[in-house]
Amino acid sequence: MPNLLDAFHSLGEHIKPGLSKFLQGLQNAAPYLDEIGAHLANAGGNPTLLQNLNARRALDQRQQMINSDLEDRALQRRHLQQEVDAFETPEQADARALNRQRALLTAQREMAAPELFSEPSADGKTLNWYQRKFDSGSGGYIISPAEMQSQEIIFPVHRLQPFPTGLMQPF
């Protein structure tokens, strides 16, 4: 007896791949079985199944059109809502432009190199150098001594030259 069971078991192993392919093909053909049966019944003289199949198809197509129309309307509503949400009055547009310009100017001030300027010392013989840098925390400028803090003033000496006579002719 064990030999007979082993034989059926090995036969089952050989049949399984073919059976699974058959079942897969049957599953793929399932949507068309109703149509095939309706046509066979119609050929046999019973048109009721074919009429029911055609009515079901028409109903499915109508339902798809209704669903498509509902999706279109939902998209239109969403689009209109986005347009309403994005609408801004002229005052709001001006405020937005002003905020953008303010942010741009602040960024330019923060990124700018320090501005150097000089000031004569109390005795008037040297120039003291300072730098002015924008501080975003306070919104103002910080003035601090520059790395080169003073410079001696050298007055150039010009010799006075007499005005050359012969270059200009009187009228």
Tens of pLDDT, residue by residue over 22-57, are 777 777 877 777 788 778 877 888 888 888 888 888
In a domain, 158, yes or no: no
Using alpha carbons, list the distances in angstroms from residue 25 to 15, 16, 22, 31, 170.
Answer: 15, 14, 5, 11, 120
Looking at the domain assignment, is residue 98 inside a domain? no
Do both 7 and 46 map to the same domain? yes
53-85, pLDDT tens digit by residue?
888 889 999 999 999 999 999 999 999 999 888
Q: Are residues 59 and 122 in the same domain?
A: no
| Per-residue pLDDT, 80 | 92
Nearest alpha carbon to residue 40 among 32, 31, 50:
50
Same domain, 109 and 55: no
Euclidean distance between CA atoms 125 and 59, whole angstroms: 102
Number of domains in the chain: 2
Q: Is residue 90 situated within a structural domain?
A: no
The domain boundary residue, chosen from 22, 53, 75: 75
Residue 121 pLDDT > 90, yes or no?
no
pLDDT at 131 over 90: no
Same domain, residue pair 69 and 9: yes
Whether 18 is in a domain gets the answer yes
Which domain, by its residues, includes 111? Answer: 105-152
Q: Given the structure tokens 């129309």, which residue do they identify?
A: 69
Residue 129 lies in a domain: yes
pLDDT for 153 beyond 60: no
Per-residue pLDDT of 4-24, as tens digits, reads 556 555 656 666 666 677 777
| Residue 159 predicted with pLDDT over 60 | no
Residue 117 maps to a domain = yes
Residue 87 counted as domain residue: no
Identify the pLDDT of residue 162.
55
Shared domain check, 109 and 67: no
Q: How many whole angstroms separate alpha carbon 30 and alpha carbon 156?
A: 108
Mean per-residue pLDDT of the chain: 78
Q: Establish if 136 belongs to a structural domain.
A: yes
Q: Does the pTM exceed 0.75?
A: no
